[in-house]
Amino acid sequence: MIERLQKLIAQAGLCSRRKAEELIAAGRVTVNGTAVTELGSKADSERDHIKVDGKRLHLTDEKVYLLLNKPKGYLCTLSDPQGRPTVTDLLHGVSHRVFPVGRLDYSSEGLLLLTNDGEFANAVASAGEHCPKTYLAKVRGVPSPDTLKRLAGGISIDGQRLAPCKIAIIKDADNPWLSITLIEGKNNQIRKTFDRIGHSVAKLKRVQIGFLRDPHLKSGAFRKLTLEEVRRFKALRPAKPRKDGLRNLASDFGSPNRKMDLSNRSPLELQSS
């Protein structure tokens, strides 16, 4: 069956459709020995020889959906030239090739989805209100309420204006814990944002992806998503752009320095150290 190349690559579980487009544009994909760089190019998975970085593409019918509690010290990639540990090293007993949905940096921890379903990955990773991601961050020093309000409204980092986010203090201390909910995920967004205001992040942990939380999943452990969880993720649809833009979300999120109820926080999510 003839399909767009990026769709075939995603269906093979190599990466998300968006990442597949980047591979094509970079000239890393060949069809019958010829490099293809034009997005939208098509191929027949049954007749054509499709290779990515010189390796033959093999489609698989069985889809795998995993939730991992990533520890610090692991890369969200399939391999590392420097030989550092990757998240796939933690997937003992998983025979299918899966890839991370989005990223957590080397020093961050928390919930991470892995799959071989490119369409699923694209729906979850795409920016928007349909699938917000929530993090707990321990920062150095106490940001002022006005500063947190400004961050919640969205600031510019690396020349890009960030969408509004939700920020709440959940534990007062000399180095407080904050809850931060994002509707987009720029590279190292939270760390860069708090570096900008002089309150660098000491610890960062993702605790929720869309509707999904699992405070009892131990660090380094993983599990399969349930059929209902997969169904709910697949049902996610990015919202249509609003006429007044995303910027009004800051007011929807409420006061950025409002304390939150910690009664439903697991010790695995929030530590005092």
Question: By the 8 A CB rule, do 193 and 117 touch?
Answer: no
| Cβ neighbour number for residue 68 with a 10 Å cutoff | 25
> What is the Cα–Cα distance from 153 to 157, expressed in whole angstroms?
13
Radius of gyration of the chain (CA): 20
> What is the Cα–Cα distance from 263 to 259, expressed in whole angstroms?
12
Question: By the 8 A CB rule, do 35 and 120 touch?
Answer: no
**Which two structure tokens, joined as six digits, stand for 105?**
């940096």
Catalytic residue among 53, 61, 105, 117: 105
Q: Which of 87, 62, 68 is nearest to 12 (CA)?
A: 62
For 12-116, where are the alpha helices, taking DSSP H only? Answer: 17-25
Three-state DSSP class for 179? strand
Residues facing 205 on adjacent strands: 109, 136
Question: By the 8 A CB rule, do 78 and 27 touch?
Answer: no
| Cβ neighbour number for residue 223 with a 10 Å cutoff | 12
Three-state DSSP class for 87? helix
| Cβ neighbour number for residue 244 with a 10 Å cutoff | 7
Identity (one letter) of the amino acid at 8? L
Q: Mark whether 61 is an active-site residue.
A: no
Hey, which residues are catalytic here?
105
